[in-house]
Every structure is written in structure tokens, then in C-alpha cells.
Structure 1
Amino acid sequence: MKNRKKLTALALGALLLATSAVGIAAASGQLSGSIKITQDNEVDYAKLASVNIDQAVASALKAQPGQVIKAGLENEDGFLVWGVEVALNNQIHEVKIDAKNAKVLKIETDQPDSQKEGSKEKD
């Protein structure tokens, strides 16, 4: 009986530790994809990706409608993702798509460079 209680306590502790680690990664804004990049060689990105550019763009536009400005494979927090920039209402939305399964991992919103404070000096 005592052993069962100890195992239950250990299992609960391990579960709490695992959930805390996931929570910390999410809170820090780190992304977790399906394809881990072990050697950062951009030449190999296309070989590693299961999702092509058309699939990535379709997935991004489904999550964030607008006009695609550019799309490319990127190393994001050590994972291979498609970065798809979508413009809508004077804002740029960077949609991160998993390069293995086309799932949306993250959407960040930013203003275009022309509207950022201090990006261009006036004469």
C-alpha cells in the first residue's frame, strides 16, 4: 500500500514537472514544431519539410486572411517552420506554420516598416 502511494506521488510529481516545463516554454514565447533542426543549414530545409509552400500559404490564409507578402522556410526556436507574412489593414501578420503537418503554430502581428516609429527620418 505504501509503495502504491509513493508511486502515485512520484507520477503526480513527474506530471507537474512536465506541465510546468511546457507552460514555461509557452510563456516565454518559444515555439514547438514537429521537425527539429539539428544542423542549421538552410540548403537542407526544403528536403526536411513535408509541407510545400502552397500548402503552407493555404494554411496561413485560412488562419489569417489577407494578402501574402512573402513565405519561406525558417528556423524558429530550433524547429523548421514556414514563415508566411500576410498583410491586412496596414498590419503585417507573421504566421508560423509547422513544416511537417501545416498546423498553425503562432501568429504575430506587426505594423509595416513604413509605419514604425523612427524607421524613416523626415527631411
Structure 2
Amino acid sequence: MKNTKKLAALALGGLLLSTSAAGIATASSQLNGSIKITQDNEANYANLASVNIDQAVASALKAQPGQVIKAGLENEDGYLVWGVEIASNNQIHEVKVDAKNAKILKIEKDQPDSQKEGIEEND
């Protein structure tokens, strides 16, 4: 009986630990920029940004060399960022650049738009 209680306590502890680790992983994947967007008005993004497109692209290329496909201001998790897509080694990388100080906030692999459309059509 004592062993059963110990096993149950260990199982519960393991479940709590894995649940909190998953919560931490989810929370840490959220991006934190310098310019908080209070009103989501894309026409006003350029007025809010301190970093221009050339500075954002230069910063992105330092972090992820390659060929720039496109760049634009975006609302990412409630913060204003430059999203710079870079093609490198047959992959597309989405580089998120802080619109205030040109710091790299996140780099992630992205699928080409042609592949995204195929996935959306199949859903």
C-alpha cells in the first residue's frame, strides 16, 4: 500500500513537472519587442518604427546571410517588428527584427508560400 502511494505521488509530481515545463516553453516562444502596439492600424506602423527598412534588412542579414525575399512591418505578439524573409540553402528563414533598435528577436524556418497554399487547400 505504501509503495502504491509513493508511485502515485511520483507520477503526479512528474505530471506537474512536465505540465509546467510545457507552459514555460509556450510562454518563452512569445516574442517581446520594444514598441507595443496599442491600436492595430497598419497605416500607422511606419510612424511608430524608429528603424527603417534598410537598417532592418542589414541587421537580419548579419544574423542570417542569404537573399532577401521580402520585408515589412508586422504586428508580432502585440509588438511592432520588421519581418524579413531570407532565402538561404534552399530554405526560407523568417527573421523578426525589433522596429525600435534593430535587435534580432527571433529567427525561424518558414515554408515557401507555394507550400503554404497547398497545405491550406488540403485542410
Q: Same fold (TM over 0.5)?
A: yes
Runs of 4+ in 1 over 6 A off after TM superposition: none
When residues 88 and 23 of structure 1 are mapped into structure 2, their CA distance, relative to the original with a 3 A threshold, is closer
The question of whether the paired residues in 2 share the 8 Å contact of 1:31 and 1:106 is answered with: yes
Aligned partner of 2:27 in structure 1 is: 25
How far apart are 1:114 and its partner, in Å? Answer: 4.3
The question of whether the paired residues in 2 share the 8 Å contact of 1:96 and 1:104 is answered with: yes
Aligned partner of 2:62 in structure 1 is: 62
- Structure 2 residue identity aligned to 1:98: D
The DSSP-based 3-state class of the residue aligned with 2:106 is strand
Which consecutive unaligned segments of at least 5 residues does structure 1 have? 1-20
CA–CA distance in 1 between the matches of 2:108 and 2:65?
13
When residues 38 and 66 of structure 1 are mapped into structure 2, their CA distance, relative to the original with a 3 A threshold, is same
Aligned partner of 1:50 in structure 2 is: 50
How far apart are 1:115 and its partner, in Å? Answer: 5.4
The question of whether the paired residues in 2 share the 8 Å contact of 1:90 and 1:111 is answered with: no
When residues 25 and 113 of structure 1 are mapped into structure 2, their CA distance, relative to the original with a 3 A threshold, is same
Aligned partner of 2:75 in structure 1 is: 75
- Count residues with an aligned counterpart: 98
How far apart are 1:24 and its partner, in Å? Answer: 5.8
Aligned partner of 2:35 in structure 1 is: 35
The DSSP-based 3-state class of the residue aligned with 2:102 is coil
TM-score (norm 1): 0.72
Query: What's the Cα RMSD here?
Result: 2.3
Aligned partner of 1:89 in structure 2 is: 89
The DSSP-based 3-state class of the residue aligned with 1:106 is strand
CA deviations over 1:8-37 (Å, ceiling 9, x no partner): xxxxxxxxxxxxx987621xx110000000
When residues 22 and 39 of structure 1 are mapped into structure 2, their CA distance, relative to the original with a 3 A threshold, is farther
